[in-house]
Structure 1
Amino acid sequence: MCLGLPMTIVETDGVTALCSFDGEERRVSVLLLSDPPVGAKVLVYLDNAVRLLDDEEARLIADALRGLHAAMNGENCDDFFADLIGREPQLPDHLR
């Protein structure tokens, strides 16, 4: 399974970018994007930034990853999935 990380561009030379997420930094390719600026949030798979994220989507992905980490460590993860608590699961439109 491959997980995409919501990372923030710290610096870029137009070909690669130094990106950060939760204290981890890595240099990733930004060749699939059209000159993303410093401060932009990007979705990174296998050290390739594949698309830009808005702040809300980046936050939701980060919360899901942090919640998964908490659950795997036996910690309470409810705060990370507050939007899912107390409601029935919903199928995406294309699966209804």
Structure 2
Amino acid sequence: MCLGIPMQVLETDGFTARCAGRGEERRVNVMLIEEVPEGGWVLVHLDRAVRSLEAEEVEPLNNALDAILLAARGENVDHLFADLTGKVGA
């Protein structure tokens, strides 16, 4: 299974971008998408940006990725999906 990681563009030359997200920084190929400004967000698969992201998409994506990690360890993930479970503030 291949997962996309939301990453924020720190600097770009139009061909690649230095991006940061989920505790790491890496150089990403951005030639498949329209230009994303510094501070913008991209969804990264295998060191390639596959699409730009709106800022409000980042938190739900990170919550889903966190849930995968927690579920793999057998931990509760309900707090990451309060908007879906109706347990807001739980």
Q: Normalising by structure 2, what TM-score? A: 0.86
Q: Partner residue of 2:55?
A: 55
| 1:1-96 equivalence runs, <5 A | 1-86=1-86
Letter aligned with residue 19 of structure 2: C
Alignment RMSD (CA, Å): 1.3
Letter aligned with residue 16 of structure 1: T
Q: Structure 2: which 5+ residue stretches go unaligned?
A: none
Letter aligned with residue 80 of structure 1: L
Q: Structure 1: which 5+ residue stretches go unaligned?
A: 87-96
CA deviation after TM superposition for structure 1 residue 34, in Å: 2.1
Question: Matched residue of 2:60: which SS?
Answer: helix
> How far apart in 2 are the matches of 1:35 and 1:56?
19
CA deviation after TM superposition for structure 1 residue 77, in Å: 1.4
CA deviation after TM superposition for structure 1 residue 64, in Å: 0.4
Aligned-residue sequence identity (percent) comes to: 53
Bigger radius of gyration among the two? 1
CA deviation after TM superposition for structure 1 residue 35, in Å: 1.9
